[in-house]
Chain A
């Protein structure tokens, strides 16, 4: 019975056993590192592209259609394509970044379009320079769009990063351990790793939520 649907006790026992090995912590740490790398890269590139496509006609013409295509492409196609170009250990970070980029770009593009025109006119009339306009008007206006984009993107990056590890398993990774558990028909271990992924995802999302929405904004 444990082969198809293991009991909670069997899963807990498996998790306890796993937690006692250094590979467990190293796998979780490396997966986390790869996903965070991907998120950082995706955020940086998505933000830069949002500015480029908003402020330049050529940027909009060249990059906007490509990003829309990227947004519609299934994650598994990315994983297999990226496998052709980079080494295994880098694939999860690249895939996570490719998932984050269009979400951040989309949210920031909507944000840039909704910046208060009257405030921008004020900036012009009061002779604010470009940097000052960016700092005093654009960045504060974009904050909520950035925060919601980041929260959505992080969940997706986490799932796609682990999926990439399952399909192209690197040496130390949660996805590799899931793949090994599946091959060895170690269903309790499969469930135990899934629990780890869910717990890490929820925990990190909680931390991120506190960072992007400070206490006063949450009404506490």
Chain B
């Protein structure tokens, strides 16, 4: 899929995160955005998810309502168990898939565990599984493997590929970037494309 930003401007207070930004992202399988912290990658992802509105310009090629975003924070509901977190995003007709998604995240047998009892890596994997379970088209993942060991991250990336959905992810990890089909390098603020595949 091709996402096109045309003259997009976004200002937070005095800070111009995007200043007439025009770029085209070809998202195919696992596609990565990388660049220094604070350059505007997260803002770009939030913009694509429809959580931010640009002050100017247009975004084409994406339907925010059909995308699924994994936030930089896990945002798990502290009072719901791991299984319930997955079930909460599934329609009733798909409740039978809960175990399958827990397996996706390598959390078999943890269905009754509350987030407070999960390690940082386990919580991250659960948040990723919940995002993937949500369904829809494009997946927007903000540092999906933060706190996840390299081996598990590789396994999760393989499973994400197997889903056959376009994935746009933010990462700084060389091992993650290596496994992505496309890598866009960004700089900023204001955000600009440094290199495209």
- A-side contacts of B75, CB under 8 Å: 118-119, 121-122
Contact partner, B73, options A118, A126, A140, Cβ 8 Å? A118
CA distance A140 to B77 in the complex (A): 9
Interface status of A137 (Cβ within 8 A of chain B): yes
Other A-B pairs, 15, CB within 8 Å; known A121-B75, A140-B77, A140-B79: A118-B73, A118-B75, A119-B75, A119-B77, A124-B51, A125-B49, A125-B51, A125-B69, A125-B71, A126-B68, A126-B89, A126-B134, A128-B88, A132-B88, A137-B77
Residue in chain A with minimal CB distance to B65: A127
Interface status of A136 (Cβ within 8 A of chain B): yes
CA distance A75 to B88 in the complex (A): 46
Q: Which residues of B contact A (CB under 8 A)?
A: 49, 51, 65, 68-69, 71, 73, 75, 77, 79-80, 88-89, 134
Residue in chain B with minimal CB distance to A125: B69
Residue in chain B with minimal CB distance to A121: B51
Per CB-CB distance, the 5 closest pairs between chain A and chain B, nearest first, are A140-B79, A122-B75, A125-B69, A118-B75, A126-B89
9 A-B interface contacts by CB (under 8 A): A118-B71, A121-B75, A125-B71, A126-B68, A126-B89, A132-B88, A136-B80, A137-B77, A140-B77
- A-side contacts of B77, CB under 8 Å: 119, 136-137, 140
Contact with B along A127-146 (1 / 0, CB 8 A): 11000100011001000000
Contact with B along A84-105 (1 / 0, CB 8 A): 0000000000000000000000
Interface bin, chain A: 10 to 19
Contact with B along A15-47 (1 / 0, CB 8 A): 000000000000000000000000000000000
Residue in chain B with minimal CB distance to A135: B88
Residue in chain A with minimal CB distance to B127: A122
CA distance A158 to B79 in the complex (A): 33
- B137 nearest CB across to chain A (Å): 13
CA distance A126 to B77 in the complex (A): 13
CA distance A137 to B75 in the complex (A): 11
Residues A122 and B79 in contact, CB atoms below 8 Å apart: no
Residues B51 and A136 in contact, CB atoms below 8 Å apart: no
Residue in chain A with minimal CB distance to B67: A125
- B-side contacts of A132, CB under 8 Å: 88
- Known contacts A125-B49, A126-B134, A127-B65; is-contact A136 B71 (Cβ 8 Å): no
Contact partner, B71, options A122, A127, A137, A140, Cβ 8 Å? A122
- B157 nearest CB across to chain A (Å): 22
CA distance A126 to B88 in the complex (A): 10
CA distance A72 to B69 in the complex (A): 47
Residue in chain B with minimal CB distance to A116: B75
- B47 nearest CB across to chain A (Å): 13
- B-side contacts of A125, CB under 8 Å: 49, 51, 69, 71
- A-side contacts of B88, CB under 8 Å: 128, 132, 136
- A124 nearest CB across to chain B (Å): 8
CA distance A137 to B78 in the complex (A): 10
Residue in chain B with minimal CB distance to A122: B75
CA distance A125 to B88 in the complex (A): 13
- A198 nearest CB across to chain B (Å): 36
- B78 nearest CB across to chain A (Å): 8
